[in-house]
């Protein structure tokens, strides 16, 4: 009987324990963080595959390295053309 007095009574919480309540802000932040991380990995992979020899980013980098002023002029004119359309 001495052992029965020392042990606390058991509390029944149901079949499964009650999950810890999470706020919607915490869930939203977690979802946004996962989406940004996944997007960054996807973009990084696309850039790395575009930098391989013969791919468009590699060609563009070589052209810009050989003729930096001409590349700057083309980029400026494309920017002006796009800005005027809006």
Mean pLDDT throughout 11-21? 65
pLDDT at 16 over 90: no
In this structure, what DSSP letter does residue 9 have? P
Q: What backbone torsions phi and psi does residue 51 show, to the nearest 5 degrees?
A: -85, -5
pLDDT at 29 over 60: yes
Give pLDDT tens digits for 35-49: 999 999 999 999 999
pTM of the model: 0.48
């Amino acid at each position: 009987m001495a052992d029965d007095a020392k042990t606390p009574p058991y509390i029944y919480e149901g079949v499964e324990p009650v999950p810890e309540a999470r706020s919607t802000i915490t869930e939203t932040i977690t979802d946004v963080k996962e989406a940004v991380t996944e997007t960054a990995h996807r973009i990084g992979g696309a850039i790395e595959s575009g930098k391989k020899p013969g791919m468009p980013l590699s060609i563009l980098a070589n052209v810009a390295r050989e003729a930096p002023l001409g590349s700057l002029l083309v980029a400026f004119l494309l920017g002006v053309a796009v800005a005027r359309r809006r």
